[in-house]
Structure 1
Amino acid sequence: MVIEFGVSTLLYERASEFSVRDDEARRLAEHLVISRRLIEERTPEQRPTMAADLTTDRYELHWNGTADVPVFDPALDQMRRQIVEWEPSLRSGDLRLRLISPGQSSKVIGAIRLRDGSWLHFRTLDAVAKLDFAFERIVLALVPAIALMVIGGLMIRRTLRPLRQLAEAADRIGYNPVVTVPEDGPGEVRRLVEAFNRMQARISALIDARTQALAAVGHDLRTPLARLRLRTEAIASADTRAAIGRDVAEMEAMIASLLAFLGGDADPEAPTSIDLAVLCATLVDDAIDRGRDATYVGPDHFDLSVRRLAVKRALTNLVENALHYGQRVTVALETDAEQAIVRVTDDGPGIPEHEMAHVLEPFVRLDPARGRDTIGFGLGLPIVVQAIEAEGGTLTLINRPSGGLEACVVLPIKRSNGRHKI
């Protein structure tokens, strides 16, 4: 809009200046025709007086048969053509025009030849209109354009507000709770918002139905598995009983991991204050009780507000993962004023660098790198990522220079949810 107004004003000023110059040429042509005719009718003695009488506040005329004829100025060729176009009779008068001071003044002097060969000289007393673009007027013309831009911007901002809310709601799809976007704005935007709200409701209903179905399937599968475990006790062969028991345990672990990843165990958990240091130490003690080499390094106590079951499941998965692929496991807790960092390290084979991001995806199992005796669907690390991201934290996997893998969990400290202590 600013460019359009600016260019329009420049073109208008330019057209106006050309119009003024054209008008100036027309007036000069009329004055020269009349003056030339009247002076030609006078005797040479009367001509100087007549020229003085024909002088006006715009043009000064004088006649002198012996005066020097001004040299023609090509810069005024356009003005000369305009004059003779208005008064073709002046074409025979060898009209000549020249600027008094080129580059400094726009006043014009000239001469036109009479029929007896003498010359009638004239001078413009006012400056002939020149191309002055009057930047003050241009700036003034831009004021309404800028005002219209501001008003239009505010109106567009208000019109697009539902679209911003729609974008924010779209970014929250898949997370609870579902937020209905207000149906506001122009008709097309309202229809878009209405369609989005209906789509969001359908997606939410689909997720709820899936979660309920998985929870029901998980519950129904656990019952026959429990019966199968009881019936294995009647098997005489200890080896066969142990093998079937391992298969049943693996199936239970697979069902548990699947339901945990898909959220089928229970409703979303509310954050509560837990002692993160005690939780880490307990996981290490459990590993020691099973005869594994595990160590805890960190403070004795550290209170943090998190979703207890989800965080416990995530840290348990990391410790079990480290125990499965390594012989020695260390759980270290570090804290500062802003965050708590849990590092779970092992001395296993690690993960190839090009697979670091891939291993965090659901249902991915890097058997060639980590062995083939893996229990579950490959949901251990994705469950950790899901639980930690729900707390606003991050999970990072790092291959240690000395060998093994380090899983680094960073949890932000939410001061508004309670106090922490070390």
Structure 2
Amino acid sequence: MRNLLHPSLGLIGRVLIIVLLTILIEFCAGTILYDRASSLRVREDEANRMAEHIAAASRVMIQRDPSERPAMASRLSSANFTVTWHRTLPPPPPMSADLFEMRDQIVAREPVLDHHMLRLYLREPGRRTVVVGSLALDDGTWLTFNAPQLVDEGKFRIAWIAMMIVVAIGLSLIAGLMIRTTLQPVRRLAVAAARIGHGEQEQIAETGISEVRDLIRAFNEMQGRIHSLIADRVEALAAVGHDLRTPLARLQLRAEGIGDDQLRESIGADVREMAGMVSSLLAYLGGDDDPENPQAVDLAVMAATLVDDIVDQGRDASYAGPDHLTHHLRPLGFKRALRNVVENAAKYGDMVQVTVNADQDHVTIQVEDDGPGIDAERLEDVLRPFVRLDDARGRDTQGLGLGLAIAVRAVEMEDGTIHLANRDSGGLCVTISLPRGDGGIAQSRNAGRH
């Protein structure tokens, strides 16, 4: 089998060989099973009855004058056993091998028939199998008979169909296993393709048929180029970020020397906005290669701290939830995501409410504001990068529209989801849901800080 399915064979060749092997095995198995099933064997009582009929008819016929024998044969016949007398018969053909067992059953009941050249044959008028036979009498004449009810043809067909179904099922399983083995490298390739661009490059062993090996080789080369492009992009962005921050820092220092307070403040705000845009752009385009490892983080403290920062800015913000809630995640990336969501709520609303809840399966963080909200048909648009909904939430349109896009990416890295919905009382509600996973959540002192 290993030689038949050598890796040098193509996909078409392998499938063709599997199909041919399946057909060949089915043909051989069908032939063997047919021979076994067609070895006709009647019930013992039927064989005994037929043996008695043949023996009785032969004894009666030999005692009658030849002129009386045709009429006597008619009287000896019935619906299930027909007898005919002949002066001569042509030489009988060889008896089929599958009827020897039936003949042995009859002879075992009436051994005397073994000396009268008893022969059995099958005749199929239409779809009904009939057993016919001939018997030599002592005077050289012949007695022929028909037994249409001797063979239970229905049981024969049922047994044949059942055996062929078993064979077909077995061959289907074997063929399926062979095809599954043939396509196993393709499944490994599909798994690797789903992970491409996420984390380290993973080379796939070039195994399988020739076409699959060529495909794996091309895939390995492609993912090498993709990871190289990502690495080049990260390095280029880091260099650009460094080059941009330096003149921005110098510009900020020079702005401090401007005597006009209003002009100085305006230039400083513009510089800070540009620095923020550079930071957000680098955070979003920095690629998926994240050096952070998940670790235990107190989400309750993180959320409460961000709320305190908003309060320190003179805004109305509150936290509701447990005092401590530990979860395993990437702390820097997730804190940046949660800060973007909280600051976005504070930018567009006069009030910010952050609520943290946990159950057996999920940790949920809700950030609500009382701002203008977002049109229902555009709730998904705001999660895309570089989208700013000026009409809906137009109080302040600074930035590149990457805050929520960065949050979406960070939450997805934790296998979580982020959902936006308008509040009935006005404003927006952003819900972040994180699965507990095997890392678990240790909740302690659920005193309910508000």
Provide the residue aligned with 1:299 in structure 2. 322
Matched, 1:184 2:214: no
Provide the residue aligned with 2:157 in structure 1. 134
Matched, 1:340 2:363: yes
CA contact (8 A) 1:105 1:127 kept: yes
- Which residue among 234, 239, 243 is the counterpart of 1:220? 243
Q: 2-side partners of 1:421 and 1:134: how far apart? A: 73
CA contact (8 A) 1:184 1:190 kept: yes
Change (3 A) 1:104 1:279: closer
CA contact (8 A) 2:348 2:395 kept: no
Report the TM-score when normalising by structure 2.
0.66
How many residue pairs match? The answer is 338
- Which residue among 111, 115, 125 is the counterpart of 2:146? 125
Q: 2-side partners of 1:317 and 1:268: how far apart? A: 21
- Which residue among 208, 218, 221 is the counterpart of 1:198? 221
1:45-84 to 2 correspondences below 5 Å: 47-48=67-68, 59-61=83-85
Asked which structure has the greater CA Rg, the reply is: 1
| 1:169-193 Cα shifts (integer Å, max 9, x gaps) | 1111221133222222111111111
- Which residue among 254, 260, 269 is the counterpart of 2:277? 254
Provide the residue aligned with 2:351 in structure 1. 328
| 1:240-280 Cα shifts (integer Å, max 9, x gaps) | 21111111111111111111112269843111222211111
CA contact (8 A) 2:199 2:290 kept: no
| Structure 1 unaligned spans of 5+ | 18-44, 64-102, 109-121
> 1:381 is paired with a residue of what secondary structure?
helix
Change (3 A) 1:147 1:214: same
Please give the root-mean-square deviation of Cα atoms over the aligned residues, in Å.
3.8
Provide the residue aligned with 1:287 in structure 2. 310
| 1:368-400 Cα shifts (integer Å, max 9, x gaps) | 111063222111111111111111111111111
Q: 2-side partners of 1:266 and 1:183: how far apart? A: 26
> 1:343 is paired with a residue of what secondary structure?
strand
Provide the residue aligned with 2:184 in structure 1. 161
- Which residue among 407, 415, 425 is the counterpart of 1:402? 425
Matched, 1:269 2:292: yes
Q: 2-side partners of 1:46 and 1:413: how far apart? A: 102
Q: 1-side partners of 2:386 and 2:236: how far apart? A: 20
| Structure 2 unaligned spans of 5+ | 1-18, 39-64, 88-126, 133-142, 446-450
Q: 1-side partners of 2:425 and 2:439: how far apart? A: 40
> 1:319 is paired with a residue of what secondary structure?
helix
Q: Identity of counterpart residues, as a percentage? A: 48
- Which residue among 338, 345, 353 is the counterpart of 1:315? 338
- Which residue among 260, 267, 272 is the counterpart of 1:244? 267
Alpha-carbon offset, residue 135 of structure 1: 2.8
Query: Which residue identity is paired with 1:60?
Result: T
Change (3 A) 1:62 1:270: closer
CA contact (8 A) 2:420 2:429 kept: yes
| 1:20-51 Cα shifts (integer Å, max 9, x gaps) | xxxxxxxxxxxxxxxxxxxxxxxxx9754588
| 1:339-366 Cα shifts (integer Å, max 9, x gaps) | 2211111000111111111111111111
Q: 1-side partners of 2:166 and 2:224: how far apart? A: 48
1:137-152 to 2 correspondences below 5 Å: 137-152=160-175
Change (3 A) 1:267 1:150: closer
Alpha-carbon offset, residue 127 of structure 1: 2.5
> 1:367 is paired with a residue of what secondary structure?
coil
CA contact (8 A) 2:197 2:288 kept: no
Report the TM-score when normalising by structure 1.
0.71
CA contact (8 A) 1:271 1:305 kept: yes
Change (3 A) 1:313 1:147: same
1:9-28 to 2 correspondences below 5 Å: none
CA contact (8 A) 1:322 1:329 kept: yes
Change (3 A) 1:226 1:50: closer
Q: 2-side partners of 1:356 and 1:397: how far apart? A: 6
